Structure 1
Amino acid sequence: MDDKAIVALYWARDEQAIGETAAKFGAYCRKIADNILHSAHDAEECENDTWLAAWNSMPDNRPDRLAPYLGRITRNLALDRLDGSRAQKRGGGQSCASLDELAECLAAPDRVEDAFDAAETGRLISDFLRTLPAQTRTIFLRRYWYCDATADIAARCGVTDAKVRVTLHRTRGKLAAYLQERGVAL
């Protein structure tokens, strides 16, 4: 079933929408959650929470492409679950190492004004990504959006793990320079 037909089921409040979504996007959403949470059980719960969030959000939204829409919901739910786990364990949870790598390029918001700047920074990062060659952009997104391991990215892109790590290191440096040139405080 194509995305438009699934969205139409959501808008019609037909419960078949959830089954169709799970069949088409279940593995995709579970992989995103598992990359962040490193727990099959938690990833499965995030996947189910994604279907509920999609059900609740569809009357207001009509996405053209479900994969990025559901992927974003899953990623946000997984990150929220990770934060909750870390809060309960006082730092004992396992963080997404790729997000720690990216932190060197971005300042953490500690003032209200910084939160307003975050949207502009997001737009600048999107602009920067559009300047990259396709493979470099894929490597960057697989690591920092999907939290894929470098070995998995290497296999997907047909390159060595070392090339992925070097590409990520250089791209982070270029991103930091790009943001500094545009006045983003790092």
Structure 2
Amino acid sequence: MKESRRNQLDDLYRHYARPLYYYLYKMSGSKETAEDLTQETFVRATVSLSFYQQEDVRAWLFKVARNAYLDEWRKRQRRKKIPFADYIFPMDEMTSPFGLPEDSAIKRETRENVEDLLSCLPEQYRSILYLREFESFSYSEIEEALDLSVNQVKVTLHRARRKLAQLADEQWREKND
């Protein structure tokens, strides 16, 4: 491998490995699967980097990661061993020692509620919400990452948000009845 290509891959890995890992962790719900899929993403990127035009490498890498996740999900589905996410957010997040215990409990309960709601959404809705809300992808980046048109991105994002709100409303009614 040429030195310039190796340096380019090293830069990509240093810059994007962590966000890709968190994306894959939130999609799969498993740290081990996320680690494996992050490595698989960079293996695939290494193979196809020479064919890729360097317009938006971030969206392209997330597209490769999503495809790796979907391939793994399909393999597991064939074997009927599909580990859906129990937790969408990492549980090992650091909390401030200066906050009030009540605030921490409320935040934890809210996060758990959001995790439960997100786990009820179809994969495409979870993906588009994660990319937009947690990774701050632009519509054009989502368009490239998910192979959608800009209008499809807007419509799908609107539907995902509406479905999430609907699920939250149903959950609230169940708790208050």
Q: TM-score, normalised by structure 2?
A: 0.51
For 1:101 and 1:20, locate their aligned partners in 2 and report how far apart those are by CA, in whole Å. Answer: 29
| 1:81 partner amino acid | E
Gaps of at least 5 residues in structure 2 are 86-118, 126-146, 169-177
Q: Kindly report which structure 2 residues correspond to 1:68-79, keeping only aligned pairs within 5 A, or say none.
A: 68-79=59-70
How many residues align? The count is 114
Aligned to 1:29: 20
2:40 is the counterpart of 1:49: yes
Is the CA contact (8 Å cut-off) linking 1:11 and 1:58 kept in structure 2? no
Percent identity over paired residues: 11
For 1:101 and 1:32, locate their aligned partners in 2 and report how far apart those are by CA, in whole Å. Answer: 13
CA RMSD of aligned residues (A): 3.7
2:92 is the counterpart of 1:93: no
The 1:56–1:168 alpha-carbon spacing in structure 2 relative to 1, beyond 3 Å, is farther
Aligned to 2:132: none
Aligned to 1:64: 55
Cα deviation, residue 92, structure 1: 4.2
The 1:21–1:94 alpha-carbon spacing in structure 2 relative to 1, beyond 3 Å, is same
Aligned to 1:165: 164
For 1:11 and 1:66, locate their aligned partners in 2 and report how far apart those are by CA, in whole Å. Answer: 20
Is the CA contact (8 Å cut-off) linking 1:33 and 1:43 kept in structure 2? yes
Cα deviation, residue 61, structure 1: 1.5
The 1:35–1:68 alpha-carbon spacing in structure 2 relative to 1, beyond 3 Å, is same
Is the CA contact (8 Å cut-off) linking 1:36 and 1:79 kept in structure 2? no
Is the CA contact (8 Å cut-off) linking 1:33 and 1:46 kept in structure 2? yes
Cα deviation, residue 80, structure 1: 1.0
Is the CA contact (8 Å cut-off) linking 1:50 and 1:77 kept in structure 2? yes
The 1:59–1:166 alpha-carbon spacing in structure 2 relative to 1, beyond 3 Å, is same
For 1:46 and 1:101, locate their aligned partners in 2 and report how far apart those are by CA, in whole Å. Answer: 18
Q: TM-score, normalised by structure 1?
A: 0.48
The 1:17–1:39 alpha-carbon spacing in structure 2 relative to 1, beyond 3 Å, is same
